[in-house]
Amino acid sequence: MDFAKLFELVVAASLINNFVFTRFLGLCIFFGVSRKMETAVGMSITFTAVMVVSAALSWVVYEKIMIPLDLTFLKIIIFIGIVAAFVQSADTIMKKVSPALYYKLGVYLALITTNCIILAVPLINAGEKYNFFESMAFGLGSGLGFALALVIMASIRERLEVADVPAPFRGLPISFIIAGLIALAFTGFSGLITL
Amino acid sequence: MSIHHKSNWELLKNGMFGENTIFRMAISLCPSIAVTNGMKNGVALGVSVMFVQTMVNITVSAMRKFIHPKIRIPIFMLIIAGYVTIIDMLMATYARAVYREIGLYIQIIVAFASIFARAEVFASKNKIVPSFFDGFGMGVGFLLAMIVISFFRELLGKGELWGISFVSGNPLLIMVLPAGGFLAVGLLMGFFNWVDMKFYGGKGASGV
């Protein structure tokens, strides 16, 4: 196992190819839950955890079941199935084992299935032929990157509540423009690491 | 049993303007930024979504009496994933150049909230013909949004339209960069809100 490569993967996935700002995935959730810091943090934690586990799960299924059986053409259907099944079972288990945690984070679990990053990560892992640990590192990096984006956005939007925005731009339009400015800053990371 | 009281034309119009996926409902936003740096990509994705949306609505509507409500979510997912796989393979075979750039986003159509929402809200409760018009209208609305956004981004960012260059001088590079996508959608959304408020007396949509 090459730790330097794993570290590079995490940094690359979280900063350089940040899912929200340079790959534009997960925007619905990004704009949906970034209104308050509290929800943004809850979503970030849940999302990163789900991301790592589902990256690992889909790697196992892809390498050990789908490739030997020549089923790679079904990858879209199978990956979405894995994610949905995992989220559903995590939901059930959490409700039973730790109701306190479920009360805090359960609502985000339900939302996660509509997040396209959750599907993009296994697809990219399969496309790039990452090994097991690299897949998990990529999942972790993209989770952290999404968390970073959410927290930045939430802290700005909380202040925006008191700002005097022109009426047609209130709500989503101004958030898009802010996201554009943050994305501009994130282009500064490009070229930091070349994989 | 049907719950809608609108004519087919009203359904179409509703999908295209009233509940436009991107500018009014503000869902399925990822591709509106990711693939709109050129009109070719934007139109390719818009047409794919239109196909999936229409076919999913028809299929769900045709099967609505056989789908048990308790397991409807995985079944809708499977139907959507099936059609996405079809369009994914078609694009990979017949539109290689475009597919290389937007392939990932075609596969991501599976996770589109708008397609799932129409299946759940409309197609699972209505007959096939209205479902077709509803899905088709939604698809056309999405396609229109993609065309508008990619028109401005390609024109300003590269000085080209559909790959044909006709503006000389330095284009506004930022518009084709990732940041430009957010800016373009934000400005357009604000513009449509302004039109709505100014001429139609609306309150401005998208309160997310």
Contact B142, B29 (CB under 8 A): no
Run of H or E residues at B160: strand B160-161
Asked if pLDDT for residue B205 goes beyond 70, the answer is no
Contact B133, B12 (CB under 8 A): yes
- Rounded Cα gap, residues B56 and B72, in angstroms: 13
Using CB atoms, which residue from A119, A166, A174 is nearest to B111?
A119
Span B65-91, average pLDDT? 84
Using CB atoms, which residue from B31, B111, B204 is nearest to A114?
B111
The verdict on residue A18 lying in a domain is yes
- Do the chains contact at B183 and A173, CB–CB below 8 Å? no
- Do the chains contact at A173 and B81, CB–CB below 8 Å? no
Count of domains observed in chain A:
1
**Interface with chain B: mutation pick from A16, A177, A187, highest number of B CBs within 10 Å:** A177
pLDDT at residue B37 in the model = 76
Asked if pLDDT for residue A104 goes beyond 80, the answer is no
Q: pTM for the whole thing? A: 0.80
The verdict on residue A193 lying in a domain is no
ipTM: 0.76
- Do the chains contact at A81 and B183, CB–CB below 8 Å? no
Closest Cα in chain A to B191: A168
pLDDT confidence of B131, banded at 50, 70, 90?
A: confident
pLDDT confidence of B3, banded at 50, 70, 90?
A: low
Question: Considering only CB atoms, which chain A residues are within 8 Å of B207?
Answer: 171-172
- Rounded Cα gap, residues A20 and A148, in angstroms: 10
Question: Which residues are CB-contacts of A87 (< 8 A; sequence separation ≥ 6)?
Answer: A50, A109, A110, A112, A113
Question: Which residues are CB-contacts of A148 (< 8 A; sequence separation ≥ 6)?
Answer: A14, A15, A18
Higher pLDDT, A108 or B115: B115
User: Residues A45-97: pLDDT tens digits?
Assistant: 888 888 888 889 889 988 888 888 888 788 888 888 888 888 888 888 888 88
Cβ neighbour number for residue B163 with a 10 Å cutoff: 10
Higher pLDDT, A97 or A135: A135
Closest Cα in chain B to A176: B186
- Do the chains contact at B33 and A81, CB–CB below 8 Å? no
The verdict on residue A192 lying in a domain is no
The residue range of the domain holding A166 is 3-187
